[in-house]
Amino acid sequence: MRRIVVLSTGGTIATRHDAQGTRLAADPADALLERLPWPVGVAVEAKDVFCLGSYLLTPADMHGVAVAAREALADEAVSGVVVTHGTDTLEETAYLTDLFHNDPRPVVFTGAMRPADAADSDGPRNLADAIAVAAAAEARDLGALVSFDGQIYPARGTRKAHTTAPAAFAAPDGGPLGRVSDGEVAISAVPVRPKPLDLAAFRPDPDRVRTDIVACYPGCDTRALRAVADAGARAVVLEATGAGNANPAVAEEVARLTASGVVVALSTRVQAGPVAAVYGNGGGADLLRAGAVPTGTLRPSQARILLIALLGCYGDPARVRAELNNSLERNHHG
């Protein structure tokens, strides 16, 4: 019989209300499996990694999830891994795991929007669906996946798109890879993935991987950029406007930061579409000339994770810039 390992990390799927009515992650992995709505037809092994709301996680915690998934797949009898996770930062942990995932067997992330003690909790169905995806032959060679509300998404490009709705996730630039319903998995697309990074080489030391996100907005100055650099940021993601625009002062500061060895990546606050070097006068064309690296369709949350992964593996800013360019190029062209 096929065997699936479920790694529990907390989140709403494991959350119950306390005496004050506050939601706190509490249920262990075994409790999640007890609430499955139907027989899943595979042997399931449950393991607890930690039990936290995902808004509390650090890059080191996310690295721990990737390591736990790798360790579970060391057993050749395991067909796939499911990770239950809070939805706030699921897109970061799933993408970090995908960047290092070098096994044909899937690692499937899922969670819930309603707590475990809600009468209509969506957690049990989402978990049953994720187990079906992890056990499906069709899901092999797709990397880390997100299974939520019946949709199957690639880790890269998927992000939380609604704060409260059960259909909480979307992949605006590519859409879902397929669907899962009543244990039946249908895959209709295959994601483009770069060569996996070396998980054994990754060091998630805070001083080594510190990466901040700085927003650009009408009238913004350079104080936030200077502040994160002064605080020790090794890399910065600019959350720019439009197709990747800021202003002349920001472009000048980007040039100063890149000359000092800080890696600057250019993303956008817009929901969909690529970053494009179109405008001067502090726009995307000037930012790229100043040394910023465009992130294509990768949005700030996942652009930051890519920088953290590269810094954790290589450390050297010049190498990180080169690998960032290579990684984004491979994702764009396949």
Query: Which residues are known to be catalytic?
Result: 12
Q: Which H helix or E strand runs over 108?
A: strand 107-110
Q: Are 299 and 267 in contact (CB under 8 A)?
A: yes
Q: Are 152 and 161 in contact (CB under 8 A)?
A: no
Collapse the DSSP code of 304 into the 3-class scheme (helix H, G, I; strand E, B; otherwise coil) and give the result. helix
| Alpha-carbon gap, residue 102 to 161, rounded angstroms | 28
Listed residue (182, 199, 183, 181) closest to 144, CA to CA: 199
Which structure tokens are listed for 98?
Answer: 């995908």
What is the Cα 301 distance to its own chain's centre?
7
Residue 214 carries which DSSP code? E
Which structure tokens are listed for 110?
Answer: 């899922």
| Alpha-carbon gap, residue 88 to 97, rounded angstroms | 16
Q: Are 72 and 83 in contact (CB under 8 A)?
A: no
What is the Cα 38 distance to its own chain's centre?
29
**161 phi/psi in degrees, rounded to 5:** -115, -5
